A = this chain, B = another copy of it.
Amino acid sequence: MVAELVFVGTEILLGNIVNTNGAFLAEKCAELGLSCYYQTVVGDNKERMEETFQQALSRSDLVIVCGGLGPTPDDLTKETAAQVMEMALEEDPHTKERIAEYFRNSQWNVIPENNWKQVLVPKGALVLDNANGTAPGLVMEKQGKRMILLPGPPNEMIPLFTEQVMPYLGKKQPEVIYSKMVKLAGIGESQVADQLQDLIEKQTNPTLATYAKTGEVHLRVTAKAENKKEAKRLLKPVVKEIKRRFQDAVYTTKEEVTLEDAVVKLLRKKKWTVTTAESCTGGLLAGRLINAAGASKVFRQGYITYSNKAKRNLLGVEKATLEQYTAVSDQVACEMAVGGAKAAGADICVAVTGLAGPDGGTERTPVGTVYIGCCLHGAVKVEHYQFKGNRQKIRDYAVVRALNLLRLCLLEE
């Protein structure tokens, strides 16, 4: 099935917001096995919207439209789509009741004038309840063509799509699509691609797609089959082969698990506590670690030691070490990790010191130089990295590498 995405919103055309819905829906369509050849952004303008919908319907089987379902007069998506699909609008008692309920729980207590138009739905459309807003999702079908209308705010659209549209579209596909996400850290995208070239080249079913994230590579393995059991059977050897090739670089095969989740899970399993000693990342590593559910069980405190004096006072780094090797060195990373663990009374400490730039680089220590130390029950490991990119990028990479070093130290133990 060929699908096409249309985004309605003057705020996208003016650059007021980044269209993150675009990437979300595109990835989900790929996951469902739908072919997508076009995405279009159009403003809240009836004529241009009509032209865009008609063109999309002429070249695709399914048109997913996102945005423009709000209550104000310039929200015209539903009216225009119904007209293009030649379906009349009628009041939907179920939606009316839901909207009334929504406002009963609000400060207004009655349905505001504007919201009455949201009670209308195209005759014969499937109505998808929106748990987080007043505009329902709508599915229209006519002569083999389908249009799906979704609200624009991501906190409304994403759950609606995941919980209702995915299963609906899944059923319309002749085959079941099932996928697994294999997430890797500490390895570059091109290295992953090289090591998987044979699998990628011969891919038909399952297929393999790589997604590069900062310091991580995610691999989506997708199988098509008559039923879920069969799809899972097809996936299994491929996932197993990926795990065999990348070993410890694989930190999860679960879509929802992040790198910090994996780290915190390992720590909780061992009942160990962790602390952080950060210089160039200045708190970002700790901030990322406590994203994980249950982080409070393993993380109690962390140190941000930006100046040399702070490294000495809070972590006990020796003055002589700082003078002899400078703050951005193997030796200082080592002392920071050892000192941090001791100061916090933690089982493990991960320490980061580096030069994120843009200034301060020298021939010996260019911008992007980062040392990451990890001290586990007194045993220390230090790694040296040379990252590329701007200040933000260097710090983001350092955070991911630090989390990964922590993970690898925990695995080794």
Contact = CB atoms under 8 A, between A and B. Distances in A.
A209 B283 contact: no
Interface stretch (A21-29, A71-79, A367-375): A21-29
Nearest to A48: B37
Nearest to A392: B291
Nearest to A297: B307
A103 interface: no
Contacts of A302: 282-283, 303-304, 306
A286 interface: yes
Given A16-B27, A37-B43, 19 more contacts: A13-B26, A13-B38, A14-B30, A14-B209, A15-B24, A39-B41, A40-B40, A155-B389, A282-B299, A283-B283, A291-B392, A296-B306, A296-B307, A299-B306, A301-B304, A301-B306, A301-B314, A303-B304, A304-B304
Interface in A283-317: 283-287, 289-291, 295-296, 299-307, 309-310, 313-314
24 contacts: A12-B22, A12-B26, A14-B27, A15-B27, A15-B30, A16-B27, A16-B210, A18-B23, A22-B41, A39-B40, A276-B283, A276-B304, A281-B287, A282-B283, A282-B286, A282-B302, A283-B283, A283-B290, A290-B306, A296-B307, A301-B306, A301-B313, A302-B304, A310-B344
Given A13-B37, A18-B23, A310-B301, A287 B290 contact: no
Contacts of A37: 13, 42-43, 45, 48
Contact of A25 (B15, B39, B284): B15
A264 to B, nearest CB: 12
A108 interface: no
A39 to B, nearest CB: 4
Contacts of A322: none
